[in-house]
Structure 1
Amino acid sequence: MPLHFDRQYAADALAELDVDRDALDGDVLAAHQRVLNGETASPEMLGWRQMLLDPDDALLESVADTANEIRERADALLCIGIGGSYLGAEAVMQALVPPFSDDGPEVLFAGHHLGPDYHRRLFEYLDGKSVYINIISKSGTTLEPALAFRLARRFLEDRFDDADRRIIATTDAQRGTLHDFAVERGYRRYVVPDDVGGRFSVLTPVGLLPIAASGVDVRTLFYGAVAEARELTEADASHPALQYAADRHAFHESGYKTEVLASMDPRLTGIGDWWQQLFGESEGKEGKGLFPVTLQYTTDLHSVGQYVQQGQRVLVETFLRIDDADDGPAVKEEDSDPDGLNYLAGKPYGFVNEKAYEGTAEAHAEGGVPNWTLTLSRLDAETLGRLLYFYEHAVAVSGTMLDVDPFNQPGVETYKQKMFSLLGRP
């Protein structure tokens, strides 16, 4: 199977907590059916699922055509957006675009924070390059991307006679500041669907256009998610996504507070960042939800690994890994064995990483951290598409089990109100 889910250490912990598994399976199936039947708190926001059950091949072809133009004409594509408007695309590209590659345009991001030095240096770096812009915002008024777009638009207009051709707006279909401005200026437009929230939008043009421009086959990515969605339509409580949702709920109800997503390969770090927003915004409301934290192992075993092993016992953990034990450069034998590593001679990096994972999972379980492992059989577009939908469906179900609305984020507006008041916005 493309995704393999191992829940042994979590199951052992739940058995010690005396969780009624039959009742838990019944609860997760009830929540699952509510998602399938459109009986969630916001049934109008289930487009992330419906679009996979009824694929729009013409849209995929249009995205691919625009991406091909960008790849042919641009040295750099600047994607402007924040939150779900960039995290999904960045995650997929980090996973699938080979590092140190010069195939196609460099994809850069702006408007995802307010760092002044970053944005100054970004436009200095872009000077002299052939640049396209993809501005991604449903409203066009979110402060961070709106400010960056002002800078970027002026940058293009000062340098290119065809600046308007080089700007592509991904925004609301019919209304909003960015929609109206894009129509006025004649920008090409793609639609952020009304029934898809930002954190679920990676498989819409929000994510698909920049991903395609990076050289990833978005049709294969999309249809990987289609396959996972169709499989889950017929699933029972034994499906890994539902087991994961059920286990998480049981730990939440037993007093656990935090979930760590530990990626065992740096190519998956961006998936962790995307997962963190997906689960944090979907579940973190009304005083509920596991706090999502993403770590990179083995790197972070040398920073917060001590806390995970022996700190407060309020953590659960998911290991996200790739089945690649035979990959990477092999350790070479040296005559004098100066570092004592000849016992690893002939072993590839992937084998060493696998044993690091196995030892860590066992150690953390023994230290009181229940954990699961989600293994990708290979790292390709199809498998990653499946993974994206796996998490989207799981959080819809787990949020429904918590009796919160998985598709709104009212708390996000609070900081904006305070910030705009301090800035003196009319």
Structure 2
Amino acid sequence: MTTETSAEIADPSLAREAEPLVQRLVNDRAASKLAAGDPTLWGADAEQEAAARLSWTTLHETSRGLLAEIDALRAELHEEGLHRVVLAGMGGSSLAPEVITATAETSMVVLDTTDPGQVADALEGELDRTVVVVSSKSGTTVETDCHRRIFEKAFSEEGIDPARRMIVVTDPGSPLQELAEESGYRKVFAADPNVGGRYSALSAFGLVPAGLAGADIAGLLDDAAAAYPALASDDESNPAVRLSAALAAAHGNGAEKVVFADSGSGIVGFSDWVEQLIAESTGKSGTGLLPVPVENVEASGFATAGGDATPVAIGPPDGTAAISTQGPLGGMMLLWEFATALAGRLIGINPFDQPDVEAAKEAARSLLDGPAGGPIATPAVVDGSIEVHPSGDWLSPGVGTVAEALRALITAAPSSGYLAVQAYLDRLDDASISVLRSELARRSGLQTTFGWGPRFLHSTGQYHKGGHQNGVFLQVTGDPGSDLDVPGRPYTLAGLQRAQALGDGQVLAQQNRPVLRLHLTDRAAGLVELVKAVQDLRAAG
């Protein structure tokens, strides 16, 4: 892996189109103003929000004080035989530490799901060796609160003091901090409140769980610090300036999607992290950039990247990529944070708010007030182990199979639209469903994204509601093999998972977006049948 953080615009035409925007950013001294925390860069309407969200630009310095504290706690835990770290967190609280630990090849269990089977698997680990990091900026994240309650009960039932196994990362004064202090939890890390969740990779939210799991977080900060001078400079060679200008120029020419493939970066899962950063930062006011992570350059290349998408290689330059970015993980994170914020200035949006995220949460909460996470709908079609539930009236009454319903959904996509696959299933046991992304992309000719629910609600969910309104949505839900009660709450995990799927589907349907929910009454059989139905679709072109 290269030690230098860089961005290269490989496409000559895109480089020419980006050049005036590069000059604009340099002349406006945008990079140095961003580094200095100037909240006026995105206009008067964004100034108040930006003023409370810009401390991330100096985290490579201000987070240094956490290192000794994390190291001391890790040593203390290891002395007690506590080597297994479970992270309960959503969005920015889980995506950054997951990529940090995966790249460092250290072990950490990530819970960013409401699937009862996946949570049950985490409970079946060695509880006598387990600590739980409960991570939530607001301190009210419903999924994370469920995980905390479930693990507290499990520890108690094993005769373990739950308070000694709970470590909290949250903003100062949050309800979670108050609860942790009242309950005598082992440790509370108060994060910098002036850092938004998706820009928090180098804050306590990224460093505490990754450091406790054994990742080299000091090296991560060192790599970010090494990249910082170039990223903060008002110079044409600034990689963040060039990257943001290229993305904005492409967007201005109709390439509203950014296709990511790894070309040998040595970083594991970077696209999953950058997906949230870009989608939630830019996808609003009917505009924005939609990230489309694909498997890797060798497997799928950029074959589906047409005129509406910009191919980006994560790693060394690839002959088919218009842009390539490479460097160590800390530098890459800071590069993309700077570039995303600067791209927001060029596109004309506030990169620090997320105005449409709450809609799906509100819809889910309202459904939880009813039985079983919402009303039981009658399927339009039953095909083997799969129930077909369309939203609205876009699906023809004559459709009789899953393959026909999928074909109708694809046909409903507008010109230059996209298909979002949303799987409310077990990210581990049902992982085979992820093959649908590439299969549907090839057969539909649409840019196709894949997200695990409810994880994506804290990521691309903002773009789906606030970005370009040209998406069609395939939800996949399934009957759980078993369920888990949520202590102190009137719902189960399966009920919450169902409410989240139905609630998000309702919000999308209210915006006249076609939503097709395929419910697997038998997960194992249904997944096989679903893959076959996709294969029955005629290849695009």
User: What is the deviation of 1:295?
Assistant: 1.7
Aligned to 1:200: 199
> Where do 4+ consecutive residues of structure 1 move more than 6 Å?
none
For 1:20 and 1:266, the matched residues in 2 are separated by: 25
Distance 1:48 1:5 in 2: 20
Question: Cα 1:258–1:269, aligned 2, differ >3 Å: closer, same or farther?
Answer: farther
The yes-or-no answer on 1:385 pairing with 2:336 is: no
Matching residue's letter, 1:260: V
Give me the TM-score of the superposition, normalised by structure 2: 0.62
8 A contact 1:260–1:294 mirrored in 2: yes
Which letter does structure 2 place at the counterpart of 1:55?
T
Residue matched to 2:177: 179
Task: Determine the structure 1 residue equivalent to 2:393.
Answer: none
Structure 1 stretch displaced more, 208-217 or 252-261: 208-217
What are the superposed Cα offsets for residues 85-138 of structure 1, whole Å, 9 maximum, x if unpaired?
01000011111226xxxxxxx41011x1211211122212345x4110110012
What letter matches 2:97 in structure 1?
A
Q: Distance in 2 between matches of 1:56 and 1:421?
A: 39
1:86 matched residue in structure 2: 94
User: Residue in 2 aligned with 1:252?
Assistant: 251
* 1:10 CA drift (Å): 2.4
Q: 1:61 aligns with which of 37, 52, 68?
A: 68
5 Å-filtered alignment, 1:189-338, equals 189-265=188-264, 267-298=266-297, 300-301=299-300, 306-308=303-305, 312-321=306-315
Contact 2:258 2:310 in 1 (8 A): yes
Structure 1 partner of 2:114: 114
Confirm or deny that 1:415 pairs with 2:360. Answer: yes
Matched letter for residue 290 of structure 1: L
Q: Structure 1 residues 386 and 250 mapped into 2: Cα distance closer, same or farther (>3 Å)?
A: same
For 1:4 and 1:228, locate their aligned partners in 2 and report how far apart those are by CA, in whole Å: 6
Q: Deviation of residue 271 (structure 1)?
A: 1.1
Residue type at the aligned position of 2:324: T
- Post-superposition offset of 1:33: 4.4
**How far apart, in 2, do the equivalents of 1:88 and 1:64 lie?**
19
Alignment partner of 1:77 is 2:71: no
How many residues are matched? Answer: 358
Segments of structure 2 that go 5 or more residues without pairing to the other structure are 371-489, 491-541
Percent of aligned positions that are identical: 26
**Aligned equivalent of 1:101:** none
Distance in 2 (CA, whole Å) between partners of 1:227 and 1:5 is: 12
The residue that corresponds to 2:397 in the other structure is none
1:62 to partner: Cα distance: 0.5
Post-superposition offset of 1:225: 1.3
Q: Distance in 2 between matches of 1:32 and 1:8?
A: 18
In structure 2, the CA distance between the partners of 1:77 and 1:174, relative to structure 1 (3 Å rule), is same
1:14 deviates by 4.5
Displacement of 1:8 in angstroms is 4.8
Give the SS at the match of 1:146: helix
Matched, 1:396 2:341: yes
Give deviations 1:280-334, integer Å, cap 9, x for gaps.
Answer: 1111111121110112214641xx85423xxx42111111126xxxxxxxxxxxx
Q: What is residue 145 of structure 2 aligned with on the other side?
A: 146
Unaligned 5+ segments in structure 1 are 99-105, 323-357, 365-369, 377-382
Calculate the aligned-residue CA RMSD, in Å.
2.4
Tell me the residue number matched to 1:48: 56
Hey, what does 2:407 align to over in structure 1?
none
Q: Is the 8 A contact 2:9 2:246 kept in 1?
A: no
Query: How far did residue 266 of structure 1 move?
Result: 8.5
- What residue in structure 2 maps to residue 375 of structure 1? 326
- Aligned residue for 1:202, secondary structure, equals coil
1:24 Cα deviation after fit: 4.2
- Compute the displacement of 1:174 (Å): 1.8
- Distance (whole Å) between structure 1 residues aligned to residue 344 and residue 120 of structure 2: 40
> How far, CA to CA, are the matches of 1:8 and 1:139 in structure 2?
38
Contact 1:96 1:216 in 2 (8 A): yes
Equivalent pair of 1:63/1:205 in contact (CA under 8 Å) = no
Question: Could you say if the C-alpha distance between residues 408 and 300 of structure 1 is closer, same or farther in structure 2, counting changes exceeding 3 Å?
Answer: farther
String of CA shifts for 1:27-53, please: whole Å, max 9, x gaps.
Answer: 46534344234124312210111333x
In structure 2, how many angstroms separate the alpha carbons of the residues matched to 1:70 and 1:216?
15
Higher RCO (CA < 8 A, seq sep 6+): 1
Residue 164 of structure 1 corresponds to 163
Aligned to 1:125, the other structure's residue is in SS state coil
SS in 2 for 1:45: coil
CA-CA distance at 1:5 after TM superposition: 3.7
Partner of 1:354: none
CA apart distance, 1:20:
7.0
Say if 1:263 and 1:9 are closer, same or farther in 2 by CA, change over 3 A.
Answer: same
Instruction: Report the Cα distance in structure 1 between the residues aligned to 2:179 and 2:230, rounded to whole angstroms.
Output: 41
Q: Which secondary structure state, in structure 1, belongs to the residue aligned with residue 62 of structure 2?
A: coil
Task: Give secondary structure in 1 for the equivalent of 2:173.
Answer: coil
**Conservation of the 8 A alpha-carbon contact between 1:25 and 1:237:** yes
Tell me which protein shows more helix as a share of its residues: 1
2-structure distance, mates of 1:22, 1:257? 19
In the TM superposition, 1:118-133 aligns within 5 A as 118-127=118-127, 129-133=128-132
> Matched residue of 1:262: which SS?
strand
AA at the equivalent of 1:173: P
Give 2:165's aligned amino acid: R
The residue number in structure 2 matching 1:25 is 23
